[in-house]
């Protein structure tokens, strides 16, 4: 086993030297995951530090070409509206409460090369209160916004599937 790994590394080193490819960060290209267990407490700890300048933290648990999942903690309102051209969001609310705004349009929506849109506002969206245990599916192309309720923390897990 160790020997075969060594051979793979050697081949990778040789082909890397020959092709002299620039170093790039590979996203959504991880090999299959091994067994993984994250307790409620571990997940809570992982999400203690918000992203810089934001009342939001996210932890990608696995990362593959056509699916990945992330745990998210939000303390914010007035979050950006999102729209994904190629990803379906399947979301389970874990704790806290909040509001989902879905549907309608993002005025002036301009997808980037990856088909992603972010907007400051959303018109004609419908709203729904989010409670622990709720599950919903946002189809690709549907504008959506998730806000924590005022003074509350909203935790959820997103399973993203490529379409």
Where on the chain is the footprint of other proteins (CB under 8 A)?
A: 32-40, 43, 61-62, 66-67, 69, 71, 88, 90, 92-95, 102-103, 128, 131-140, 142, 157, 159, 161, 163
Nearer to other proteins by Cβ, of 14 and 27: the residue is 27
Residue 13 C-beta: closest distance to other proteins, Å: 28
Nearer to other proteins by Cβ, of 35 and 113: the residue is 35
d(CA 23, CA 27): 13
For residue 154, give both structure tokens: 């909203």
Nearer to other proteins by Cβ, of 15 and 62: the residue is 62
Residue 100 C-beta: closest distance to other proteins, Å: 8
Residue 14 C-beta: closest distance to other proteins, Å: 30
Q: Write the DSSP assignment of 78-122 as a string of letters.
A: SPPEEEESSEEEEEEEEES-EEEEESSB-TT----TTSEEEES--
Residues contacting residue 99 through CB under 8 Å, at least 6 positions apart: 127, 128, 129, 130, 146, 147, 149
């Amino acid at each position: 086993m160790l020997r075969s790994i060594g051979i793979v590394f050697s081949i990778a080193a040789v082909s890397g030297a020959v092709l002299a490819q620039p170093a790039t960060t590979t996203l959504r290209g991880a090999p299959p995951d091994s067994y993984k267990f994250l307790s409620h407490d571990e997940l809570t700890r992982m999400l203690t530090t918000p992203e810089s300048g934001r009342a939001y933290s996210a932890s990608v648990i696995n990362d593959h070409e056509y699916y990945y999942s992330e745990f998210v903690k939000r303390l914010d309102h007035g979050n950006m509206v999102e729209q994904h051209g190629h990803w379906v969001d399947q979301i389970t609310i874990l704790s806290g409460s909040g509001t989902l705004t879905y549907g309608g349009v993002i005025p002036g929506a301009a997808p980037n090369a990856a088909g992603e849109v972010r907007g400051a506002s959303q018109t004609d969206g419908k709203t729904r209160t989010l409670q622990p245990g709720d599950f919903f599916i946002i189809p690709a192309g549907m504008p959506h916004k998730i806000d924590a309720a005022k003074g509350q923390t909203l935790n959820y897990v997103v399973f993203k599937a490529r379409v």
